[in-house]
Amino acid sequence: MPKPIDIVGECVDEIAVAYETYEKISQELGMRFLDAIDRTLESLISNPEIGPVCHRGARKIVLTRFPFILYYIERPSNTQLIAFIHAKRDPRSIRTVLTERDYTSRT
56 in any annotated domain: yes
**Per-residue pLDDT for 105 more than 60?**
no
Residue 107 lies in a domain: no
State the CATH number of the domain containing residue 90. Answer: 3.30.2310.20
Q: Is 68 a member of any domain?
A: yes
pLDDT in tens, 35-73: 999 999 999 998 989 999 988 889 999 998 999 999 999
**Domain tally for the chain?**
1
Q: With bands split at pLDDT 50, 70 and 90, how would you rate the model's confidence at 106?
A: low
| 50 is a domain residue | yes
Domain with 50, as residue range(s), is 5-101
pTM here is 0.86
The chain-wide mean pLDDT, for the chain, equals 88
Under the banding of pLDDT at 50, 70 and 90, the label for residue 104 is low
Residue 36 belongs to some domain of the structure:
yes
User: Is 64 buried (19+), middle (13-18) or exposed (0-12) by CB count in 10 A?
Assistant: exposed
